[in-house]
Amino acid sequence: MADERLIAQIRARQLLNLELLDTAQVATGDGCKNLSEWVALKLDVSLDTARNLVRTMRRTSDKPHLREALAAGSVSFDRVEALSRLEGEKDPFEHLDVAGVRRVAADRVEVSADDEADASREQFLVMQPALDESWWRLWGGLDGVTGAVIDRALTNRADALPELPDGTRGSGAWRKAIALYELATGGESPQAQVSVFVDTAQAVET
């Protein structure tokens, strides 16, 4: 319990420091897309952990009772994060565990303008090629509206793809990948790509 109390107090200091850094726009100055990315890099934590810290910092900026409870170590960061989702709510829900508080928050959720702005700012897409560019990995995150629009466009395009020569249609994930290519190229079919590996020792001998 003593360790959890210390963790809560450290998190409280982090929220205060993040608020100052956010105001100073340090993340932008360091070339990061947003504060969450900056926190993930500087604290060596996952992007999800960084986002939780940043969102909780912003949600508790006008909830001093939560900041004070966290600084005193009387509540955990997870509980404060869950309670911060409840607008205008002073009930500590002490009879509920953290999961219970999160369920209450989910039932009463109201997306604020700040939440929408945060989600929009935190969108990102990363594309990473293999050394020979024969394969690319994509990952990222989108807000709810953008994600739904893109998913619908990919699904509609994927559903319109013809059957393969063997009469099958391929997996849904494969069809969406092809649909993404077609949307990017205006409908062109993907070109076949061949990778050739040469043993230089044998090539020299011949």
Q: How far apart are CA 135 and CA 204, in angstroms?
A: 29
Asked whether residue 79 falls in the same domain as residue 170, the answer is no
Asked whether residue 42 falls in the same domain as residue 11, the answer is yes
Q: Are 123 and 143 in contact (CB under 8 A)?
A: yes
- Computed on alpha carbons and rounded to an integer, the radius of gyration of the chain in Å comes to 24
Residue at 190 is within a domain: no
Q: How far apart are CA 88 and CA 54, in angstroms?
A: 20
Asked whether residue 17 falls in the same domain as residue 107, the answer is yes
Q: How far apart are CA 65 and CA 5, in angstroms?
A: 17
Tens digit of each residue's pLDDT (9 = 90 or more) over 8-21: 999 999 999 999 99
Q: How many domains does the chain have?
A: 2
- Domain carrying residue 128: 124-185
Least confident range from 22-26, 87-91, 148-152, 190-194: namely 190-194
Is residue 76's pLDDT more than 70? yes
Asked whether residue 102 falls in the same domain as residue 47, the answer is yes
Asked whether residue 160 falls in the same domain as residue 102, the answer is no
Where a domain ends, among 83, 102, 121?
121
Read off the pLDDT of each residue in 29-43 and give the average, rounded to a whole number: 88
| Structure confidence at residue 70 as a pLDDT band (50, 70, 90) | very high
**Total-model pTM:** 0.53
Residue at 99 is within a domain: yes
